[in-house]
Amino acid sequence: MYRLFLVLCLCYGLLGFASSEEPTTSVYEHCGNLQLQENIQIKLITGTWYVIEVLQHKTDDKLFHGEKFEVPTCPSIFLALTDSDNTDLKLYWSEDLGDIEYLFKIKDKSSPGFWLSSGSQNGTLLQLTNYNQFAGMVYVRKAISNHMVLTFCSPNTQLYSVVLSRDKTLDAKELKSIVNHMQLQKLPITQTKRTCRSSASTARATAWMTTAFGLTYLAWYLSVHK
């Protein structure tokens, strides 16, 4: 009876482990089980966005598991419709090292948050870095007025999300909400690359200097006009 109890516990534990890993494995291998935001107006998400964070979801790369680091550059993307039918998209990524151009197609107009890659990428980054061509799907996980979350999935090759903002900063509460939502969907974050941080630091420093100057001037003015 004791042996039977141990076997049952072991089987239960293995089943529990398999069920907890299944959603991520399924997404990584088949690019499925990812929720899209409904009621997206594709024209409203075109234009310029800034890359705030890049979240890696690959679970087979243990070297970078849980790593968080900051990048001094502030990449931007420009998203545009390239046809009158609003089904062809161009995503132009630009950063200090160079640029790259992605082409996507919306196969189903009733699901505008699901994009399929259409052809290979072009740009100067292909020559400067060890770039792997992306061939897969993009899921618009969240798209509101000031920020957007895109998840790129190429079966068994790439699985990552990009957090975009209309400005070069995004409120910490919004970033935390995005991470919490991914954890609820059992989509792990194995690496976090934070960008545009120098811009945020500069903005804070400028605000601090302005406040300090204002207080100094106020103290001088009060001392002169006693």
Q: What does the alpha-carbon distance between residue 24 and residue 34 come to, in Å, rounded to a whole number?
A: 10
pLDDT at 224: 55
Structure tokens of 28?
């990584």
pLDDT at 210: 42
Work out the average pLDDT over 149-154: 96
Amino acid at 90: K
| pLDDT tens digits, one per residue of 36-94 | 998 899 999 999 999 999 999 887 655 556 789 998 899 999 999 999 999 999 999 99
Q: What does the alpha-carbon distance between residue 150 and residue 54 come to, in Å, rounded to a whole number?
A: 10
| 153: DSSP letter | E
| Whole-structure pTM value | 0.76
Structure tokens of 36?
């899209």
